[in-house]
Amino acid sequence: MSDVPEPVEFCPGCKSAEIVRGVKVGISNEINKVGLKCEAGLFQPGTEPILADLCDGCGLILRFYVTEKRRWVIG
């Protein structure tokens, strides 16, 4: 996706270069998944996993993002 900001190389908080990329955010169980709601097809609801980049040095979350462009469910 071209709309996703470029990943940072150094943490703005502690200046560490120990950046962990693509960590999945959320909890899932057999009933529900946590993520951004989208249309999965034939008007079926789905969820797109939220990913995060974070600093392994201080724990600062640097960005949240998704990898797929979807038709998002608003409201």
Cα torsion through 39, 42, 44, 45, rounded to 10? 0
pLDDT per residue as tens digits for the range 53-74? 999 999 999 998 888 777 767 7
Q: Residue 1 pLDDT > 50, yes or no? A: no
pLDDT per residue as tens digits for the range 20-45? 999 888 766 666 666 667 677 666 67
Helix, strand, or coil (residue 15): coil
Instruction: Identify the CA nearest to 57 among candidates 22, 15, 7.
Output: 15
Cα torsion through 18, 63, 9, 54, rounded to 10? 0
